[in-house]
């Protein structure tokens, strides 16, 4: 028997927290599609989100992100991993979604991102951006989960 979400599950969180990795696993367990908005953006524009941001700047990049979000059908049961800054577009999710804020220790993320830092992020603005986005995630999240918890996929799957 195939299990299907009654709503779309939206995974929110800072870059590197594991939205895509966990999203794929949850979708497999629940037997529903997985969507990564960064992958949709890259497919549409033939450039990585990092390249788009670097070449066009934040304003155009956020406009492209917003377009991707507006084109999603949230009434279909699916797992959706949002880009880390997608909430900065001002997009409002419908009642057909359940939003989960995935958290990881700030210092762990800082060390991880030193190896793969996005164009907009440097050592000087990390704390400011992290705090700003964590507030955004918390403001729309129905649930908040620490990704370092054991059996996180099982816990997320059981929420729905």
Say whether pLDDT at 119 is over 60: no
Specify if 19 maps to a domain: yes
Q: What is the pLDDT of residues 41-96, one digit of tens each?
A: 999 999 998 899 889 988 999 999 999 999 998 888 899 999 998 999 989 887 78
**Separation of alpha carbons 12 and 17, rounded Å:** 9
**Separation of alpha carbons 151 and 96, rounded Å:** 26
Say whether pLDDT at 108 is over 90: no
The DSSP secondary structure of 87-128, one letter per residue, reads GGG-----TTEEEEEEE--HHHHHHHHHHS--TT--TTTHHH
- How many domains are contained in the chain? 1
pLDDT of residue 123: 66
Say whether pLDDT at 22 is over 70: yes
CATH of the domain at 110: 3.40.50.300
pTM across the whole model: 0.86
Percentage with pLDDT > 70 across the chain: 88
Specify if 133 maps to a domain: yes
Specify if 15 maps to a domain: yes
């Amino acid at each position: 028997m195939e299990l299907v979400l009654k709503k779309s599950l939206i995974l929110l969180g800072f870059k590197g927290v594991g939205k895509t990795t966990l999203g794929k696993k949850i979708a497999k367990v629940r037997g529903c599609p997985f969507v990564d908005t960064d992958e949709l953006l890259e497919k549409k524009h033939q450039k990585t989100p990092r390249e788009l941001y670097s070449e066009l700047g934040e304003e155009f990049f956020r406009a492209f992100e917003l377009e991707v979000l507006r084109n999603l059908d949230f009434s279909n049961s699916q797992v959706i991993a949002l880009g880390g800054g997608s909430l900065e577009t001002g997009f409002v999710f419908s009642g057909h979604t359940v939003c989960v804020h995935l958290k990881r220790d700030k210092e762990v993320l800082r060390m991880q991102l030193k190896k793969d830092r996005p164009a907009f992020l440097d050592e000087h603005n990390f704390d400011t951006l992290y705090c700003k986005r964590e507030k955004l995630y918390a403001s729309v999240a129905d649930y908040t989960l620490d990704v370092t918890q054991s059996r996180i996929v099982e816990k997320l799957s059981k929420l729905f």
